[in-house]
Amino acid sequence: MTKKKFETNAIRTQNERSSFLEHSTPLYLTSSFVFEDAEDMRASFAEEKERNIYSRYSNPNSSEFIEKVCQMEGAEAGFAFASGMAAVYSTFAALLNSGDHIVSSASVFGSTLSLYNNFFPKWNIETSLFKVTDSMESIERLIQPNSKILYVESPTNPGVDVLDLEALGKLAKKHQLLLIVDNCFASPYLQQPIAFGADLVIHSATKLMDGQGRVLGGITVGSADLIDKVYRFARITGPALSPFNAWVLSKSLETLAVRVDRHCENALALAKHLEAHPEVEMVKYPFLKSHPMYEVAKKQMKAGGAVVAFEVKGGLESGKRFFNAIQMLSLSANLGDSRSIVTHPASTTHSKLTPEQLQDAGISEGMIRISVGLEHIDDIIADIDQALEKANA
């Protein structure tokens, strides 16, 4: 049979139908599963059988969601988590030992940086950070004999910087590091890091995968041997995705392609509009030709994603007036929602960072992050324009 396209697999990958012949996968709201007899139970716990035992380990709804994401990312296996940060932490914890070293971009989610700064040092795990503008030679100089993981986001949160995944993949392979990519901003529809050399890919499914601001979720996918280590850690520590959230996310993936197409269309239109706006100091969006990594973004992404970063002229105070003047768009810390969202990263998602750490992460005090939603682009632009007008009035 001819290999099916992305959109078809997202819709047609489902669990086997039950005796009721349902058209849509049902919810499996059960904490545990029963066994036929003593031998069936023994063999199941001995892992001689591949079957559901307890929903902390696996559940039909989680399995369907994982299978879809694995197909989308070109991965062998995966595990689904209660949130994106549960996926990030559990992946690190499963693969690192005391004394190991991480090389990471400084431009990662604020909570990931908090792991590096506040928690991993307690377990003698150190991190060296590089700027997105650093050369591959500079990044390579950070690698130590005990380095284990090379970790990046692309595009980055919140500055939508782009890293060359192919070059990073070659660097990781040269030094036998595990390349782990947070692919949340792109979604598997726009970018598949495994094709560029990533060993594991992480998503906050809370974002574009859900797409409507309803549920929390996370997932890590990649090679089967690495995912087995992640699974065994998660099976014991218990950060599993709930069956209900897995069901919601699996259904959401059916519309991922059409939603992300519109997100990208709206975001590019807004980015071009802001770039020409007299009250805007700077605009960054991967598919703007002015983006410093535009050619790399075109190479590894299908489109530019849902997030636009920009800065209002007049700095922090003008930015505050801009936020207070917003009427339709939501003031929230989420992204990837059907509703457009405005965020001030320096005072919210990255507020725990020092001024120096903010600078290293490429976050200015006046930076504004807009997760561009699915409203009509004219209405999105109209709300932003009237707020910009008041920002420096």
Task: Quick: pLDDT tens for 108-131.
Answer: 998 999 999 999 999 999 999 999
Query: What is the pLDDT, as a whole number, of residue 240?
Result: 98
Q: What is the CATH number of domain 6-253?
A: 3.40.640.10
Domain ranges of the chain: 6-253, 256-391
Q: What single letter denotes the amino acid at residue 253? A: L
Q: Summarize the confidence of residues 87-108 as an average pLDDT.
A: 97
> What sign does the dihedral 186-89-125-97 (CA atoms) show?
negative
**Residue 310: pLDDT over 80:** yes
Which CATH class, in words, describes the domain spanning 256-391?
A: alpha beta
State the residue for tokens 């489902």: 14
Query: What is the pLDDT, as a whole number, of residue 308?
Result: 98
**Going edge to edge, which strands form the sheet with 307-312?**
280-284, 307-312, 367-371, 341-343, 330-331
Alpha carbons within 13 angstroms on the beta-carbon side of residue 91 total 35
Task: Quick: pLDDT tens for 36-77.
Answer: 999 999 999 999 999 999 999 999 999 999 999 999 999 999
The lowest-confidence range among 76-85, 114-123, 298-307, 319-328 is 319-328
Q: Summarize the confidence of residues 1-30 as an average pLDDT.
A: 92
The lowest-confidence range among 236-250, 294-308, 318-332 is 318-332
Q: Read off the DSSP letter of residue 99.
A: T
Query: What is the pLDDT, as a whole number, of residue 381?
Result: 98
Q: Do 189 and 6 touch, CB atoms closer than 8 A?
A: yes
On the question of a common fold for 6-253 and 256-391, the answer reads no
> What sign does the dihedral 154-155-160-161 (CA atoms) show?
positive
SS3 of residue 341 by DSSP: strand
Task: Quick: pLDDT tens for 349-381.
Answer: 767 777 787 777 777 777 899 999 999 999 999
Give the pLDDT band (50/70/90) at residue 315: confident
